[in-house]
Structure formats: structure tokens, C-alpha cells
């Protein structure tokens, strides 16, 4: 089941964020204000998912190589020119 979540996160991260928000308590207590999750949802959804994952499963510890590599990869996915801007080739 977690592998299916990772697959959905890479294909449609906003869809997974909505599912997690509606059906789990994954985002509870992670942010002090609602502004950051909303901005993350619209601008950096994969990074938002990785940040919340690190907060839950790694206890918010950003000292490990996995955590840093994950955030770098998530940022690269979110800001890549191909994310959401695919054009039809004529």
C-alpha cells in the first residue's frame, strides 16, 4: 500500500494531498498556520508531501542523508520545466 501512495504522489501529488487531508490525520500538528500547506499545495506539492513525511516518520530530524536527498529530489520535481507544462509537439 505505501508503494501505491508513492506512485500516486509522483503522478498526481495534489490528489494525494487531498486524499490524505480528507481521510487521515497526516497533516495535523505539522504547521502552526494554514498558510504554508496552502502555498505548498499550489506551488510545491511534492516538496510539501516530503516535508510532512519527514516530520512524521523521521521526527522532524533533517540531519540524515535520506531527508536531504529527498527534499532536493522533491524540489527538482516541483520546479522542473516539465512539471505540468507539457506541450503538444506538432
pTM, entire model: 0.80
How do residues 48-63 score in pLDDT, each as one tens digit? Answer: 999 999 999 999 999 9
Instruction: Quote the cell numbers at residue 4.
Output: 501505491
- If you average pLDDT over every residue of the chain, what do you get? 86
| Among the listed residues 72, 27, 83, 28, the one whose alpha carbon sits nearest the alpha carbon of residue 47 | 72
pLDDT, position 16: 87
pLDDT, position 81: 79
Mean pLDDT for the stretch of residues 16-32: 90
Mean pLDDT for the stretch of residues 28-56: 92
Mean pLDDT for the stretch of residues 18-46: 91
Three-state SS string over 15-44 comes to HHHHHHHHHCCCCCCCCCCCHHHHHHHHHC
How far apart CA 38 and CA 35 sit, in angstroms, is 5
How far apart CA 27 and CA 74 sit, in angstroms, is 18
Which residues are CB-neighbours of 53 under 8 A, at least 6 positions away? 70
Amino acid at each position: 500500500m505505501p508503494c501505491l501512495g508513492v506512485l500516486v504522489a509522483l503522478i498526481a501529488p495534489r490528489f494525494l494531498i487531498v486524499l490524505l487531508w480528507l481521510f487521515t490525520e497526516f497533516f495535523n500538528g505539522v504547521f502552526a498556520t494554514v498558510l504554508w500547506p496552502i502555498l505548498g499545495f499550489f506551488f510545491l506539492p511534492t516538496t510539501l508531501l516530503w516535508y510532512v513525511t519527514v516530520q512524521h516518520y523521521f521526527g522532524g530530524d533533517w540531519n540524515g542523508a535520506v531527508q536531504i536527498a529527498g527534499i532536493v529530489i522533491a524540489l527538482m520535481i516541483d520546479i522542473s520545466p516539465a512539471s505540468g507544462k507539457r506541450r503538444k509537439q506538432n
